[in-house]
Amino acid sequence: MRSAPPPHQTPPPIPPTGPGRRAFVTGALAAAGVAATGCAPPDTLISGQTRLRQWNLFAGGDGLRMIEMHDAYEAEHTDIDFRATTFTWGAPFYTKVAMGAAGGRGADIATSHVSRLESLAPGRLLDPVDPAMLAEAGIDDTVVLPNIWDKCFFDGRLYAIPIDTHVLIQYYHLDVCRQAGLLDADDRLMEVSGAEEYFDMLREIKAVTGTYGVSVDTWGPWSNFWALYRQQDGELVLGEDDYEMDDDKALAAMEVLYRLSEEGLAPRHSMAADTAANLANGQAGLMIHGNWEIPTLEATGVGFSATQFPAVFGNHRTRGDSHCYVFPHQRDRDPERTRAAVEYAAWMLRNSLTWARGGHIPAYQPVVESPEYDELHPQAEYREAAENVQFEPQAWFSGSAGRLQEEATGALTTLHQGTQTPEQALAQLKGTIRDLLTVPSPV
């Protein structure tokens, strides 16, 4: 609308004027000629290279690791015309994958969360992976942990190639925590158990930083909520058109998020990138975030370490998921490019020590069992976290950046902002879940 001249007025019959006005139209038409004849998207078959297009959702630290791995991959594979694109994490990324697959000209290979497989309509928006081709490239159930491998199947067919498992952990700023007297001789963070002990610790840290105790991503509160809820054995059972949730435990988890910001121990607003910045610049002494922020913090040069998710309710359970590769549906799937995509995925798995440096626990076991992996710090500090991973219940709307997580953000972020009490936020969250259950599954 904004460019259209208003439709309602008669143009005046202005007498024709100088020649300058014609230039524009003529130029436009000439350029159209150029457009019609040339400038088509480059067909790389001509150059003898195999075209391979990868889409991913890795910004920040993961993005840097992936670029590093891709540089190495490209150096080794000069026969591949490889290009990776990073989309905004979450719904924008998954929407582009789905729409690209619906159009049939999407990526050759894309990243995904294992928890999102169901929402991507395997068989329609996703093309299956040939297990034989993958095994030829060196990846099968003997090199991947069975519990993750099983999650890659849908209706008995393989649709995903697992990359890693990732969890929420707690980072700590060495100088700040040392000053607060919270570190032992080996720079390990003092172990606390229970909400009150944890809040006391945060107050001690705040006394040092003057700003916050812990930095949390207030715009991604679902993961923290899920970890806190599961620490209390809270169950979320999603049925056909009904669900079960433990109100008291949910309220207790929400109370923690609410108090963190209300008591000034955590920011009221902190987006993805700001969250790490708050720890790096010493405004907070702790940070609860995904293990994927390790490279971001390393890049800042700040002295930090990491441990498991805080035992606010007496244990270290944490939320987790797995990244994987999927093949978005293509209208004319090219066997050569498909093979190149499978071999690319296998290469990335075999070289996932780099990925592990980014904090994730690789799915490819030979890497995890390697001595090089033992050397990684602080990865070794939270390796037990893998046992404490809490996945979300399966549903088309659950999972990382799924609708439940997205829409729950609306309710849970108000706890940090202080605009809703836990009771109000719980009512909104339950409304959200109820609404999602009444929605007919689109896949």
**Residues numbered 122-181 forming contacts with other proteins, rule: CB under 8 A:** 124-125
Among 52, 65, 69, 89, binds other proteins (CB under 8 A): 89
> CB–CB of 318/390 below 8 Å?
yes
**Residues numbered 8-27 forming contacts with other proteins, rule: CB under 8 A:** 8-17, 21-22, 24-25
Distance of closest approach, residue 54 Cβ to other proteins, in angstroms: 11
344: nearest Cα among 63, 133, 38: 133
166: nearest Cα among 9, 327, 11, 320: 320
Q: By CB under 8 A, which span of 96-104, 179-187, 249-257, 358-366 interacts with other proteins? A: 96-104
Among 104, 194, 239, 314, binds other proteins (CB under 8 A): 104
Give me the 289-328 binding string for other proteins, x by CB under 8 A, dash otherwise. ----------------------------------------
Which CB, 83 or 350, lies closer to other proteins?
83
Amino acid at the residue 399: G
CA dihedral 365, 368, 372, 376 (to 10 degrees): 160
Q: By CB under 8 A, which span of 4-12, 257-265, 312-320, 336-344 interacts with other proteins? A: 4-12
Q: Which residues of 240-253 are buried (b: 16+ CB within 10 A; e: fewer)?
A: eeebebeeebbbbb
E-assigned strand segments in 58-125? 80-86, 109-113
| Secondary structure of residue 109 in the 3-state scheme | strand
Among 109, 121, 345, 404, binds other proteins (CB under 8 A): 121
> CB–CB of 62/290 below 8 Å?
no
Among 70, 77, 83, 157, binds other proteins (CB under 8 A): 83
How many CA atoms lie within 13 Å of 123's alpha carbon, on the beta-carbon side? Answer: 7
Among 52, 63, 290, 341, binds other proteins (CB under 8 A): 63
Distance CA 208, CA 6 (A): 62
Distance of closest approach, residue 18 Cβ to other proteins, in angstroms: 9
Does position 52 bind other proteins by CB under 8 A?
no
312: nearest Cα among 214, 236, 398: 214
Does position 46 bind other proteins by CB under 8 A?
no
Does position 68 bind other proteins by CB under 8 A?
no
Distance of closest approach, residue 35 Cβ to other proteins, in angstroms: 4
Distance of closest approach, residue 372 Cβ to other proteins, in angstroms: 28
